[in-house]
Structure 1
Amino acid sequence: MSNLPDFDRLWDYDDPAKTEKAFQELLPVAERAGDRAYYAQLLTQIARTHSLRRQFDDAHRILDEAETLIVNIDNPSNDPTQTSRIRLLLERGRAFNSAGDTDSARPLFKEAWELARKAGEDYHAVDAAHMLGICEPADASLMWNNRAMKAAEASDDPRAGEWLGPLYNNTGWTYHDAGEYEKALELFEKGLAWRIELDNPQATRIAKWTVGRAKRSLGHTEEALAMQQSLLVEHEAVGTSDGYVFEEVAECLYALGRPDEARPHFGRAYQELSKDGWLTENEPERLERLKRLGIVL
């Protein structure tokens, strides 16, 4: 696989359709090279682009194709298909998890974790643990997130360290959902520092949003409002917008007894977030509240 392009570097998680196109263009390259393990791994990532677009039937169909290919690859003692198997498990699990079927996803992630640890695939082991942190209930979620953070911090693989930002975020949300806002804030602030160091403005804005959100939960509403308003300015400067930022500005203003100022922000939040298929399906009451407080007709 070393002579073939590193397709992982082609990922744009904000544009899975564009990413799929880039991956599809590599399939004939892999086929000509005769590298079936590479081809199978590429298929798992094409499947992931469909999962991100909630096209789960397409995702599973492509994963079935990858699985058939992996099963038929010769397996010498130095098994070149271990990574392919691990990635198949991860993406099958992600497809189930994104569709809300955590019971089917969980054993796949656990198998991926065990196989990756045995194979010394730290990056994928951390990925599996981080996914278990997402789909397990609270106590088990914290265990898996902490296990993932320790594995990432201890690994010699720099790619494993790339998981630290998402792990700070996910573990922070687990604490936040449990009402442990101080612990959540501590992790969100670590995540923000990590993002700033990487010089990724978009990811930094998201991390800054989480810090502001935790501050609101702690009752530091003026501080939270200032952070979210600064994010509005940042988005305006680069020509983007974020419904979650509008929502937080609105919630802060509303909590401070300024409903008239909050109203247009609730309205903008509804306009943006009502386009989110996951929110529409899973949090209709939240969207209805935004609509009501924003007086959206």
Structure 2
Amino acid sequence: MIDRLWDFSDPAASEERFREAADDDTHPAHVRAVMATQLARALGIQGRGAQALAVLDGVVSADSPSGDPERDVAEVRARVAIERGRILAATDRRAEAVPELTRGVREAALAASPFLVLDALHMLALNDAGHEEEWAAEGFDVLDGSRDPRVLRWGVALHNNLGWTMHDSGRAEAALTQFEEAVEAADRYGTAEQQHVARWSVARCLRTLGRTDEALELQRELARARPDDPYVQAELAALTGEEPTIEA
């Protein structure tokens, strides 16, 4: 249900759908609480962090029905912690975000939800400076135990994000391996957007490594598919010496 209601390219419309679902009394209390956490996420994406945190506070303050299974209760706690951490991280409050996301990992494990465990771990790998590789490694362990394509899709983000951590710390060879793993995961389980971004990252890393002919070939391939992509065009310009990249 969550995937059906989300449109990350239009968070305002997603907000309205999740608000309606969270207020729908025909849904069980657990489902309404889950919908409210996604309402908070939609608000956060729109830069309305204070409102988003208030929604999450409302979920926490609401009493869970005594008959709710423990897994359902743990799922709601996990989602609240993850979304709170996501919002805090987006507003440069990473020191506050990390304990929330760590709590999200624990609660997601209690809820027996590998998908949510990986969501929390990938956020930790992005925001817990100095521990990125440790959190990513935990994520890879979770992936190794799953056969669910929706869960395995997290491999795209984990490998891509770890690749950028390595790239930006001067380890481009190791980064390339991660970017190539992201391409493999994207081709098997990811979306068209993830496949595109993963290949762009490979090409960008090839440029760092001085393998410009390979990088140019790959960027031209991406440009044929998406001629208006500004990041692809910026890389083509950098590789042909026409103008600085977006990063410059």
TM-score by length of 1: 0.76
Confirm or deny that 1:25 pairs with 2:25. no
Structure 2: unaligned runs, 5 residues or longer = none
Equivalent pair of 1:123/1:157 in contact (CA under 8 Å): no
Structure 1: unaligned runs, 5 residues or longer = 1-5, 255-261, 271-285, 290-297
Q: Of 18, 23, 38, which residue of structure 2 is paired with 1:45?
A: 38
Q: For residues 123 and 144 of structure 1, what CA distance do their matches in structure 2 show?
A: 15
| Cα drift, residue 253 of structure 1 | 2.3
Aligned positions, number: 247
Cα deviation digits, residues 140-179 of structure 1 (max 9, x gap): 1101011111112213554322211111111111111221
Q: Of 215, 218, 237, which residue of structure 1 is paired with 2:206?
A: 215
| Cα drift, residue 75 of structure 1 | 4.0
1:244 corresponds to which letter in structure 2?
Y
Cα deviation digits, residues 173-231 of structure 1 (max 9, x gap): 11112211112111211211222234733221111100101101111112212222222
1:48 corresponds to which letter in structure 2?
R
What is the match of residue 245 of structure 1? 232
What is the match of residue 100 of structure 1? 92
Q: Residues 18 and 195 (structure 1 numbering): CA distance in 2 closer, same or farther, change over 3 Å?
A: same
Equivalent pair of 2:159/2:178 in contact (CA under 8 Å): yes
Identical residues among aligned pairs (%): 29
Q: Residues 77 and 9 (structure 1 numbering): CA distance in 2 closer, same or farther, change over 3 Å?
A: closer
5 Å-filtered alignment, 1:89-238, equals 89-138=81-130, 140-155=131-146, 157-198=148-189, 200-236=191-227
Q: For residues 18 and 69 of structure 2, what CA distance do their matches in structure 1 show?
A: 27
Greater Rg over alpha carbons, structure: 1
Cα deviation digits, residues 107-129 of structure 1 (max 9, x gap): 00111112222332221111111
Cα deviation digits, residues 82-140 of structure 1 (max 9, x gap): 101100000000000011110010000111112222332221111111111010113x1
Q: For residues 209 and 95 of structure 2, what CA distance do their matches in structure 1 show?
A: 33
Q: For residues 121 and 192 of structure 2, what CA distance do their matches in structure 1 show?
A: 27
Q: Which runs of 4+ in 1 moved over 6 A?
A: none
What is the match of residue 276 of structure 1? none
Q: For residues 60 and 221 of structure 2, what CA distance do their matches in structure 1 show?
A: 47
Please, what is the CA RMSD of the aligned residues? Answer: 2.1
Equivalent pair of 2:29/2:65 in contact (CA under 8 Å): no
Cα deviation digits, residues 254-285 of structure 1 (max 9, x gap): 3xxxxxxx23xx5xx76xxxxxxxxxxxxxxx
Secondary structure, aligned partner of 1:183? helix
TM-score by length of 2: 0.90
Equivalent pair of 1:130/1:144 in contact (CA under 8 Å): yes
